[in-house]
Structure 1
Amino acid sequence: MISLIPQTKQWIMKEGAGFASAGPLAAELRLEREDPRLERQCHRLFPGVAVQVETASAGSGYSARIGRTDGQDAGSRKPADEQDWPMAAGKREGYRLRIDENGAAIWAPDAAGLFYGLQTFRQLMEQSDTMPAGTIADWPDTALRCMNYDLRQTYSKPERLVAYLADFARYKVNGLLIEYEDKFPFETYPELVHPNHALSREQFEELKREAHEHFIEIIPLQQSFGHLEYVLRHDKYKHLRETEKSLGELCPSREESYGLVTGLLAEMMDRHPESRYIHLGCDEVYSLCECEMCREQYDGVRERAFIAFLNRLIAFTADRGKTPIFWHDMLDKCPEEELSRLDKRGIAMIWIYNGRNIDSEVSALTLKFRKLGIEVMGAPAVRSFDWAEHQNYPVIVNRVDNLLQWTETSERLGIDCMVATNWTGPFSLGMPYGVFETTWYPMLLHADLCWNRGSDPATFIDRFLYQFHGIEPEVGHAKLGNYRIEDYYDIIWKLRDEVRLNRDYAELIAIMHDYEKATDRSRAIHKYLYRWELFPGDAAERRSLLNNYQRNHRGREDVRPRMRAALERYQPSDMAAHFVSSRFYLHDYLEKTIYRELGMNLEE
C-alpha cells in the first residue's frame, strides 16, 4: 500500500522499472516566472541535490525534473501529453507527475502546483528505494485549505509555530487563520501586549516569512465585537463593555468602541500586507442590546445593532483593500428584512461543529446568505468544546463525523474555503482544552479531505500511521487486529514500540491516557465518599476508601512530572505549568480539604 496524504486524484501505473532513488540526484527547474522559493524547496526536500534553474518561455508554466547524475538526459523529454490529463490541465495549484526509470518530471500551471507536486514526489521517495513507474494527475478540490492557530490559552513555542508551517505545506495546506489576541506585538496599543508570551517583532516577521516560503496565506483574526476579554478587562477600556458583566462584549453604540476596534484592525491589516483577508470575529455577542443606549438606538433589535456595527467594520476594512470575514452565528436566525441591510463585501464563515444535520443546516444558511449576494466559507473543527472542557486530545468521534459531513456539504455547495478550527479554550479566561500537538490526526484528515473530497476515509488511519508515525499497516494490524478511523487515540499509545516517526507526540498522548486512567479512579472515590457518611467508623468501608485513595494518588503523582516534562518540549515552562495546574487543581484541592479531613494517607 502506498500511503499518501492527501490521496492523489488520478494515478496510472505503468509496466516496467520505476525510479531507484538511491544515489546522487539532480534537479532542474524551468519556470515561466522566477520564484526562488522553488529552488530553496528543492534543496530542503532533497539535501545535497544539485539544482539548476532556467527561465522558460511565456505560457509554458512551471516544470521540474529530478533524475540521476549518471548521464541520463531526462530534460529532453517532452511534457506529458495533455490528452492523458484531461482533468488536470490548467487547474490552479494542480500538477502532473511522471515517474520512470530515469527519474521524475513534474509540470504545473503555477509555482504552487509545482511545489505540491514536489511534496507528492517527496512522500513517494520516503516510502521506498524504488518508486513505481506511472503518471499522476492531481489538483485541489478546495481553493483555500486552512489550519488554525489559537493563541489565547496554552499554545506552542514560537519556534514550533514557525516549524509547523513546513508540516502543513507537506500535506498541501495553503492557509492559516491566526487569532493572536494579546500575543500580537501591537505597537499602537502596547498595554494590550502580553508581558510574557507575546510574539516579538522578530518572531512575528519570521512567522510571516516562513508562511510565504511554504505557499501559506495567513488570515489574521482580530476580534471586534465579542471575545474581547483581553481588551475590556483593562480599566482603561472597561467602560466600553455592553454591560458591567459582559467582560468581553463591546457596546456598539459608543463611538469610542468603533475607534478602538478600527485602531486594532488597522494595525493588524498593516502588519499583514500580503493577506487578502481580515477576519473580524464577531461571534457569540450574547449581551447585545442589553445596555440602555443600544436599546434606544436600535429599538432593542439585536440583529439591527449587530449589522449596523458590522457594516461599519466591513466598510472600514474593505476600503483598505482587504476582504472582511465574520462568523455567522449572530445572524443565524436573522430575519431577511434585517439581513438585507448587511454590506455585501463581507464573507460569512459558517461554523457548525456538532450534530448529524450539517448538510441541512449549512445548506439553509448558505442559501440565505448567497440569496443576498453574500459569499460563505466553511469552518468545521478539529478540536472544540464537545461538552468536555478539560479534554487532553480531541473527542475524535465527534471530530471525524464533523469533518466527513462538512466534506460532502462543501462539495455539493461549492464552498471554496475550509478552515479547521482548533480552539485552545472556550475563551481567554477559561480552562485550556488541550495541547496543539495532540491534534495532528484530525488536522491531517482535514487536509486530506480538502484537497481530495473523494479521498477514502476507510484507509486514512493506516495512511496516517504510516505517514506520521512510520507504522506500516501490516505491523499495526498484526499487533492490534482491526481498528477504524475513530480509534487513533485508543491505539497509538499501544503502538509506541512500533513508532518510528514523531514518537514524542505518541508519548504525549500516552501520558494523557495515563492521567485519565488515574483520574477516573478519582471520580470513583468522590462517588463513594457518601458511604463513609452511611457507615461512620466501619473498618471495611475505611479500607475500601483508603485502597482507592492510595491507587489514585500514586497514579496521579506518577503522571504529574511526566506531563510537565512532556509539555515543556512544546510550550514555555510557565505555560506548561498552567496546563498541568488546570488538570490537577481539583485533585490537589481535595487533597487539602476532604481527603485530609477524612484522614486519608499512603502509609496505613
Structure 2
Amino acid sequence: MDINPPWPKGKKVVHLDLKGAPPKLDYLCQLIECFSRMGVDGLLVEYEDMFPYEGELKLLQATAQRPYSRDEIIFMQKVAKSKGMEVIPLVQTFGHMEFVLKHPSMWSLREVSNCVGTLNPCKEEGLKLVMEMLRQVVALHPDLKTLHIGADEVYMLGEGELSKQWLASPGRSVEQLFLSHVASVVNYIKEAWPHMTIIVWDDMMRGMSQDTLKASGILGRVQPMLWDYTPNLDVEKTVSLLEKYYSAGMQHIWAASSFKGSTRVYTNVPSTQRHVDNHLQWLKVAQSVPSGLNIMGIALTGWQRYDHLSVLCELMPLALPSLAACLQTLIHGQFSPEAQKIVTELLDISSVEAGSMGSATGDVRLFPGRRLAESIVDLDSLLCLEDIKSFEKNMYVRGWFSPYQKSRRMVNPLISVQIQSQASMYLDLLQEKVNVVREGMRHIYPDSTAQEWMEEHVSPVMGPLKRILDEITECSMEIVPAQR
C-alpha cells in the first residue's frame, strides 16, 4: 500500500447537499456532533430550495416539504460553531439553477428555453436575482467569512440569442462570457462584503489559457475548487491543472472529493472502498502541488441528487462509514489497519462497508441513523434479488401466465396457486421490511423523502408483484368452481 503524507494544512469540510432528503433539525445536529468526532472542520451547505427565501424570492422555497425556518438555520450555525466548524453556504449563481429557473415566472431568465439549469448572463434581471439570493443568504449567516458561488456545469452557455449577439463582437469568446458573469457576481460580493472569501467550482475554467484567466478580472478575488470524484483520478493531469491555475496567479486553491452521491445517479448503498480510493488519489495530488501554492482545504462532497430534477442518491446514514473512512484516509495518508480500526470503533461497526457493517450492539448514538441504515441495507438486498425484481420473468409466470394466456383466461389452476403463493410470500417479506424503513425515515426525514424513496426504489419491484397477484387471482376465480 502506498503511504502518502497526511492531508496538508487546510480545512476538511463536509458538503451537506440539501436539495434532496433534507434532514430534520434534530438529526442535522446529531450529524454535526458525529462530524466533529470524525475531525471535520467545517460544513459546505448547499441549501437550494430549503432556504427560507423571502419577498419576491419566496416562490423558490420547497413545497414538497417546508424549508428550514430562519431560527433553524441560525441554530444549526450555533451548533456547528460550538464544535469549531465554519459554515460555508453554497449558492449557485450561474449553472445548476434548476430550482430557480423551473418556475414559470423565471423561464425568461434561462439561457435557452430547454435548459433549466443555466442562467442567461446577458439579462440584468438575472444578475439582480442572483444578488438578492446572495444578500438574503449572507444576512442569515451573521459570522460569515466564506461563500461558495457554484458556477459549475454551465450547460448551453452562448447558445441563447442575447449571448450570440454578445459573442458577435470581435474578439469575444464563450470563455469570456462565462468570466464576465462570474466577475459581475464577484464584484457585487466584494462591494457588499469586502472581506468575504469567495470559492468557485473550477470545471468551466479547465480549458482556459493562462492569458484568458489573467484577463478575467477575478484573479486574487476567487479561490477555485477543483473537483474530481473518481477512484482513478488522473494525478498527473490534476497537478498540471493546479500548476496552470497557480501560474495564472491563483495562489489559493481548494480540492473537492466525494464520500457519496457520485457513483451512479440512483445508487442506494455506497462503496466505501471506491470513495477511499478517490481520496488516496487526492493525497497524491497534494503531495505534488507547486511550491508556493496554498491548498486552503478539501470539501468532501456528499451529493444527494445529481441535480435538482434527478432522483435521490444514497441517504446520509448509509454514507457515514464512507465519510469516516475517507477522513481517516486523509488524516493518516493511507487507509491503514489503524485507520480502519478507528472508523469501526468511532461508529461501532464491524465493517467499514455499509452493506456489511453488521447490526448495532452498543451505543447507537455513535452512529446517528444507524437503525435506518441497517434497515435500508436489509431491504435493498431483497429488492436486488433476481427472483423478486424479475418475478415477471419467472419460469411459471412466463410459461403459464403469459399475456396471451392472461387475455384468454387460460390458466392452469395448480400452477396459479404456486404463483400466488410465491408472489404473496415475497410481498409480505418486502412489506415487513418496508414498514421498518418507513418508520426509521419518519424520525430523520420529512414525509416527502420517505414517499419519494419508496416510489423510486420499492414501487418498481412491489408493483409488478401486486399486479400479477391480482390478475392471477381474478383469472383463477373464473376457472376454479366456487366452493359451496
Deviation, structure 1 residue 349? 0.7
Deviation, structure 1 residue 294? 0.8
Alignment deviations for residues 463-507 of structure 1 (CA, whole Å, 9 cap, x no partner): 2221221x6xxxx5xxxxxx7xxx5223213x4446765477443
Is 2:18 aligned against 1:151?
yes
Alpha-carbon separation, structure 2, partners of 1:547 and 1:334? 63
Alpha-carbon separation, structure 2, partners of 1:404 and 1:373? 27
Alpha-carbon separation, structure 2, partners of 1:217 and 1:310? 24
Structure 2 counterparts to residues 430-449 of structure 1, below 5 A: 430-449=310-329
Please give the secondary structure, in 2, of the residue aligned with 1:237: helix
Partner of 2:91: 222
Please give the secondary structure, in 2, of the residue aligned with 1:415: strand
Alignment deviations for residues 141-171 of structure 1 (CA, whole Å, 9 cap, x no partner): 3321101111101121112223322322223
Is 2:259 aligned against 1:382?
yes
Partner of 1:457: 336
Give the structure with the larger strand fraction: 1
Is 2:274 aligned against 1:398?
yes
For structure 1, which segment, 510-519 or 212-221, has the greater mean C-alpha deviation from structure 2 after superposition?
Answer: 510-519
For structure 1, which segment, 373-382 or 294-303, has the greater mean C-alpha deviation from structure 2 after superposition?
Answer: 294-303
Is 2:174 aligned against 1:302?
yes
Is 2:200 aligned against 1:333?
no
Partner of 2:128: 259
Is 2:374 aligned against 1:510?
yes
Alpha-carbon separation, structure 2, partners of 1:602 and 1:251? 61
Partner of 1:190: 58
Alpha-carbon separation, structure 1, partners of 2:286 and 2:52? 35
Partner of 1:70: none
Alpha-carbon separation, structure 2, partners of 1:518 and 1:151? 28
Partner of 1:311: 183
Report the CA distance shift for 1:500/1:347 in structure 2 as closer, same or farther (over 3 A): closer
For structure 1, which segment, 213-222 or 340-349, has the greater mean C-alpha deviation from structure 2 after superposition?
Answer: 340-349
Report the CA distance shift for 1:328/1:547 in structure 2 as closer, same or farther (over 3 A): farther
Alpha-carbon separation, structure 1, partners of 2:368 and 2:45? 25
For structure 1, which segment, 584-593 or 559-568, has the greater mean C-alpha deviation from structure 2 after superposition?
Answer: 584-593
2:390 to 524, 538, 550: 524
Partner of 1:276: 145
Please give the secondary structure, in 2, of the residue aligned with 1:348: strand
Partner of 2:447: 573
Partner of 1:492: 357
Is 2:48 aligned against 1:168?
no
- Opposite residue 351 of structure 1, the aligned amino acid is W
Alpha-carbon separation, structure 1, partners of 2:475 and 2:365? 42
Alpha-carbon separation, structure 1, partners of 2:476 and 2:243? 63
Deviation, structure 1 residue 224? 0.6
1:425 to 282, 290, 305: 305
Contact 1:228 1:249 in 2 (8 A): yes
Deviation, structure 1 residue 140? 7.7
For structure 1, which segment, 576-585 or 540-549, has the greater mean C-alpha deviation from structure 2 after superposition?
Answer: 540-549
Percentage of matched positions with identical amino acids: 21
Alpha-carbon separation, structure 1, partners of 2:151 and 2:145? 19
Please give the secondary structure, in 1, of the residue aligned with 2:19: coil
Alpha-carbon separation, structure 1, partners of 2:323 and 2:225? 19
1:180 to 40, 47, 56: 47
Deviation, structure 1 residue 191? 2.5
Deviation, structure 1 residue 304? 2.5
Alignment deviations for residues 215-268 of structure 1 (CA, whole Å, 9 cap, x no partner): 111111111112212211222211101122112221111111111111111222
Structure 2 counterparts to residues 76-87 of structure 1, below 5 A: none
Structure 2 counterparts to residues 229-268 of structure 1, below 5 A: 229-268=98-137
- Opposite residue 95 of structure 2, the aligned amino acid is G
Contact 1:317 1:323 in 2 (8 A): no
Contact 1:242 1:251 in 2 (8 A): yes
Alignment deviations for residues 6-57 of structure 1 (CA, whole Å, 9 cap, x no partner): xxx9xxxxxxxxxxxxxxxxxxxxxxxxxxxxxxxxxxxxxxxxxxxxxxxx
Partner of 1:61: none
Report the CA distance shift for 1:542/1:326 in structure 2 as closer, same or farther (over 3 A): farther
Alpha-carbon separation, structure 1, partners of 2:326 and 2:114? 38
- Opposite residue 178 of structure 2, the aligned amino acid is F
Partner of 1:346: 222
Contact 1:252 1:309 in 2 (8 A): yes
Please give the secondary structure, in 1, of the residue aligned with 2:451: helix
Alpha-carbon separation, structure 2, partners of 1:357 and 1:140? 16
Report the CA distance shift for 1:563/1:255 in structure 2 as closer, same or farther (over 3 A): same
Please give the secondary structure, in 2, of the residue aligned with 1:560: helix
Please give the secondary structure, in 2, of the residue aligned with 1:313: helix
Alpha-carbon separation, structure 2, partners of 1:289 and 1:162? 43
Contact 1:157 1:570 in 2 (8 A): yes
- Opposite residue 190 of structure 2, the aligned amino acid is A
For structure 1, which segment, 318-327 or 525-534, has the greater mean C-alpha deviation from structure 2 after superposition?
Answer: 525-534
- Opposite residue 141 of structure 1, the aligned amino acid is P
Alignment deviations for residues 522-571 of structure 1 (CA, whole Å, 9 cap, x no partner): 33325558944599568598688656634432332122111100111211
Structure 2 counterparts to residues 540-551 of structure 1, below 5 A: 549-551=423-425
RMSD of aligned alpha carbons: 3.1
Alignment deviations for residues 298-317 of structure 1 (CA, whole Å, 9 cap, x no partner): 24843222111111112222
1:200 to 49, 69, 76: 69
Contact 2:239 2:288 in 1 (8 A): no
Contact 1:492 1:506 in 2 (8 A): no
Name the structure, 1 or 2, with higher relative contact order (CA <8 Å, separation 6+).
Answer: 2
Please give the secondary structure, in 2, of the residue aligned with 1:420: strand
Alpha-carbon separation, structure 2, partners of 1:504 and 1:164? 7
For structure 1, which segment, 561-570 or 204-213, has the greater mean C-alpha deviation from structure 2 after superposition?
Answer: 204-213
Please give the secondary structure, in 2, of the residue aligned with 1:236: helix
Gaps of 5+ in 1: 1-8, 10-138, 477-482
Bigger-Rg structure (1/2): 1
Alpha-carbon separation, structure 1, partners of 2:116 and 2:476? 44
Contact 1:221 1:280 in 2 (8 A): yes
Please give the secondary structure, in 1, of the residue aligned with 2:43: strand
Contact 1:142 1:418 in 2 (8 A): no
Aligned length: 450
Deviation, structure 1 residue 383? 0.7
